[in-house]
Amino acid sequence: MRLVFAGTPEVAVPALDALLASDRHEVVAVVTRPDAPAGRGRRLVASPVAQRAEEAGIEVLKPAKPREPDFLARLREIAPDCCPVVAYGALLPKAALEIPAHGWVNLHFSLLPAWRGAAPVQHAILAGDEVTGASTFLIEEGLDSGPVFGVLTEQVRPTDTSGDLLTRLAFAGSGLLLATMDGIEDGTLKAVQQPADGISLAPKINVEDAQLDWSAPALRVDRVVRGCAPAPGAWTLFRGERLKVMSVAPAPDRTGLAPGEIAAAKNSLHVGTGSHAVELLWVQPQGKKPMKAADWARGVRIAAGERLGGA
């Protein structure tokens, strides 16, 4: 099939690579989000998908919005058979959905209908799911509601961050997306409607969602830290400034600390929660680089009774 691939971030690149390597399909163009400011200089930088497509010598389309008439006209000229999608980042209008003969097929990182939305991996970790996965489905105008072609499952490991889990799903999912393209092309694969039960939503995690509540149980604190890593990053307040909490370890043997109360030792740093304590492993003070939590604690000279989370 003639394919136009739609995707934007690094997590979409493994799927693009798998399609480029296929001897059954031809990726004739990619659709991605426009160049965005990045780095300290805030210079405009092309998306990872755009950069990979340019390396491969493929046409790159960067509409500000995919309903733009010029973009739709060019897509009609290209006349793709199918448009595989991975984390494109913009809603597709009906006019675009109708162009490819076999539609737009999305690789979504959950077992649909669970975790429909922008942040399925983060929400799976926040909810404590032991198993998640990826699904390929035909895009409709509804939110991740289209019929499903195929799924794969992936174990959620106890120490997984969202970044860890998303990386594994991106590589495993690339094979699922390629197999879906093969099945559509040879007519052996039919999409099945999602069940009406088991629907859950996974809206984008914002900075406010990532603030740690030290009165919550240690298990919840650990999930928020892992679910918000690497972005937007869990955080708390210390002496009125934000402190990013990059990794923690539950410390069930460490009790007697009030929620948010800090206990600093030579080589460790514990904080009380609503249950037992957690050990802070890595933190990032405002305006500084990540560092070991014990090193940070020595530098700021924590006083007895000081707490995280307060002003």
**What angle, 0 to 180 degrees and rounded to 10, lies between the N-to-C axes of helices 162-186 and 13-20?**
30
Binding site listing: 110-113
Query: What residues does 82 pair with on adjacent strands?
Result: 3
End-to-end CA distance of the chain: 58
CA distance 287 to 46: 26
Which residue blocks in the chain are alpha helix, DSSP H?
13-20, 48-55, 69-78, 94-97, 120-126, 162-186, 218-227, 293-300
Which 3 state secondary structure label does DSSP give 127? coil
Binding site listing for (6S)-5,6,7,8-tetrahydrofolate: 110-113
Query: Exposed, middle or buried by CB within 10 Å (0-12, 13-18, 19+), for 62?
Result: middle
Query: Exposed, middle or buried by CB within 10 Å (0-12, 13-18, 19+), for 100?
Result: buried
Residue type, 267: N
